[in-house]
Structure 1
């Protein structure tokens, strides 16, 4: 049986109480619609495993959440499973991003930008994300190049017809 800790109560997962949480058992959840609440995240993520805490930081002026949050699980395995099954599902029409939480942006490895061309038209963001996340954390999600990066319409049409993403 899971003991529920009330959302919004207790430790700030990235702040002064970070030593109290299990970093390896915490998932970062991004691209949240403004309608998403801590309670909704709790109800969604508890389906993947025992949840210990949910924290969604809020703007001090507007009191609205900032579009991301953290879900701490009882074990690292539960967090890994939640990341696998809940990443890119849609909440209020927006695909949420679920990754391992990192303690500090400074501790992230320096990454690289990757340009991928000649993709099959059936390749979507989720497939790309799932494929490349096996090699590390994806910081910026794949996006189609609008107008192919070209200023002339014929060149843009040609680039778009080749299904370029970066």
Structure 2
């Protein structure tokens, strides 16, 4: 999938509590449609950062997921769901 196409299928999920795992995000966002990838970014020590990405199989699922899940509480924190406009970076900062 090319980057511009991938961008249309991806959401940035922020304000994640440290106990949130990729499996939890997968189950949550699956309510909006089939997923191709879920990734929580990590720091240099391998600890989860407070944001990640969710990629959908169908772009029609993206605005639905944003409307459905933006602000929902996970482990007592409201998550933020935004349209992704940037580039994926690994934990060492490389694309």
TM-score under structure 2 normalisation? 0.84
Shift in Å at residue 21 of structure 1?
A: 6.4
SS at match of 1:85: helix
Root mean square deviation of aligned Cα: 1.9
In structure 2, the residue matched to 1:53 is 37
1:86 pairs with 2:69: yes
CA–CA distance in structure 2, aligned partners of residues 87 and 18 of structure 1: 26
Shift in Å at residue 19 of structure 1?
A: 3.3
SS at match of 1:81: helix
In structure 1, the residue matched to 2:25 is 41
Q: Which structure ranks higher in relative contact order (CA pairs < 8 Å, sequence separation ≥ 6)? A: 2
In structure 2, the residue matched to 1:64 is 47
CA–CA distance in structure 2, aligned partners of residues 18 and 92 of structure 1: 34
SS at match of 1:46: helix
Offset from partner CA, 1:77-125 (integer Å, 9 cap, x none): 1011000000000000000000101125xxxxxxxxxxxxxxxxxxxxx
CA–CA distance in structure 2, aligned partners of residues 33 and 69 of structure 1: 11
Structure 1 stretches of at least 4 aligned residues deviating more than 4 Å after TM superposition: none
Ranges in structure 1 where 5+ consecutive residues have no aligned partner: 1-16, 105-166
In structure 1, the residue matched to 2:7 is 23
Query: Is the 8 Å Cα contact of residues 21 and 72 (structure 1) preserved in structure 2?
Result: no
CA–CA distance in structure 2, aligned partners of residues 97 and 20 of structure 1: 22
Q: How many pairs does the alignment contain?
A: 87
Larger % of strand: which? 2
* Structure whose CA Rg is larger: 1
1:98 pairs with 2:75: no
